[in-house]
Amino acid sequence: MWIAELFINFLIALEFGWWSFLRSPGHTYRRTIFYRDWVLAKVEYLQSESAKWRALFTTLKLPYSALRMMGLSPNMAVSMLVAGSAVGGGAIAAEMMEPPSFSKGDAGIYDAPLDTPVFVAESFNTLRVDLGSTAVGNITIKDTTLGTAFTGSSLPSGETSPIIIGGKAAVVDPAFSETFLETSYLLVDRWRCESLLITNSEANKLIVTGMVSDGQSLSPVPAAIRMRAVNGGVRAADMEGHSNYFDQLRIQATSSGVNGKVDVLTLSNLYSRGGSCLIDRVLANVIEIRLGEIGGDSDLATKAFQIADTVSYTTFEAVGNVEVAMAVPAIQ
């Protein structure tokens, strides 16, 4: 406060001079009070504004869990955290006004290869990609938390799997013809699931490397599976998403009798909780499953990682896979 006092004395001397103080001390005192109150009012105003800005940035830097408890959706909470560390309010506002898209990591239902969803809602936190007759070059999803693995999350109503990849069975609807997901290369890399089940699929080459699981049963059967590629000239642009939170990830061929086609499907560093991860009805040249941690009941007898005998291959490589009892994945 000595700076404020020095400033007041300077203003008094500037207006009256020191001789004025000697001639009229009462008047000078009243003017001193005026300048004192004026300076203190400015100081109080600046302190108030500073407190407001400090509160704003503190809110923007709240942990993800706190923002979720405030009622924000997972991806809105992430956007707030990103905005809190960004520079330039205009750029942040412009970004938040943009429509949802796959490339930005927004939840919704996407008809591949469209980047904008055909359905989106605040209460719908599933990332669903529907594959049809249009082939997609590459789909990459990585560094994503799914199911009930984050605070305040839940699986969609009636669902039991945080991750579903593949086609659809005909028994879902009597009028629906069975579909498959066709791919040159499916990479399942560093998944964390309570259990992982692979069924009704085939691969010319099946590779399982470095998997750690709470019990495992690998029972694929040998067969003459043809080499496979997804081609056909001009095809759709690549789709890539990363660093997000979703209640469920679903990539499926959903049109009756029409197989979905992706040349390279990369699913890397997916962390899930709340049910079994499922890969079903995939036709591939190569399926590679590597470096995952599968389990959650600390019981090796339950076989958390299973490749069923409905999976067939021409070449099968299994290297460095071990059984380790492990607890359910932690909530982030």
pLDDT at 89: 46
Q: How confident is the model at residue 231 (pLDDT cuts 50, 70, 90)?
A: confident
| Structure-model confidence comparison of residues 37 and 234, the more confident one | 37
pLDDT in tens, 64-74: 555 555 555 55
Rounded to an integer, the average pLDDT of 187-208 is 98
Question: Given pLDDT bands bounded at 50, 70 and 90, which one contains residue 27?
Answer: low
Query: Which residue did the predictor score with more confidence, 105 or 98?
Result: 105
The pLDDT of residue 49: 74
pLDDT at residue 113, as a whole number: 84
- Please tell me which residue, 97 or 215, carries the higher pLDDT value: 215
When the pLDDT of each residue in the chain is averaged and rounded to a whole number, the result is 83
Q: Of the ranges 75-84, 101-110, 274-283, which one carries the lowest mean pLDDT score? A: 75-84
Q: Is the pLDDT of residue 195 over 70?
A: yes
At 262-302, the pLDDT tens digits run 999 999 999 999 999 999 999 999 999 999 999 999 999 99
Within the chain, residue ranges assigned H as helices are 2-23, 25-60, 64-69, 74-84, 89-97
In whole angstroms, what separates CA 104 from the centre of its chain? 10
Split at pLDDT 50, 70, 90, the class of 233 is low
- To the nearest 10°, the Cα dihedral for 244, 247, 253, 256? -150
Pick the more confident residue, 28 or 210.
210
Residue 276 pairs in a beta bridge with 195
Burial class of residue 58 in the structure, from the number of CB atoms within 10 Å of its CB (0-12 exposed, 13-18 middle, 19+ buried): exposed
pLDDT at 133: 81
What is the rounded CA–CA span in Å between residue 72 and residue 63?
Answer: 12
Judge whether residue 96 has pLDDT over 60: no
How many of the other CB atoms lie within 10 Å of CB of 22? 10
- Comparing CA positions, the residue from 110, 313, 153, 107 lying closest to residue 221 is 313
Give the model's pLDDT for residue 92. 43
Is 36's pLDDT higher than 80? no
**Which pLDDT score, from 0 to 100, does residue 55 have?**
63
| Strand-strand pairing, 282-290 and 276-280 | unpaired
Please check the confidence at residue 10 and state whether its pLDDT lies above 60.
Answer: no
Q: Give me the residue spans of the domains in the chain.
A: 2-60, 102-323
**At residue 84, does pLDDT exceed 80?**
no
Tokens coding 100: 């949802």
Give the mean model confidence (pLDDT) for residues 223-227: 97
Q: How confident is the model at residue 23 (pLDDT cuts 50, 70, 90)?
A: low
Q: Which of 18-32, 120-134, 225-239 has the highest mean pLDDT?
A: 120-134
What one-character DSSP code corresponds to residue 320? S
Q: How far apart are the first and last CA of the chain?
A: 47
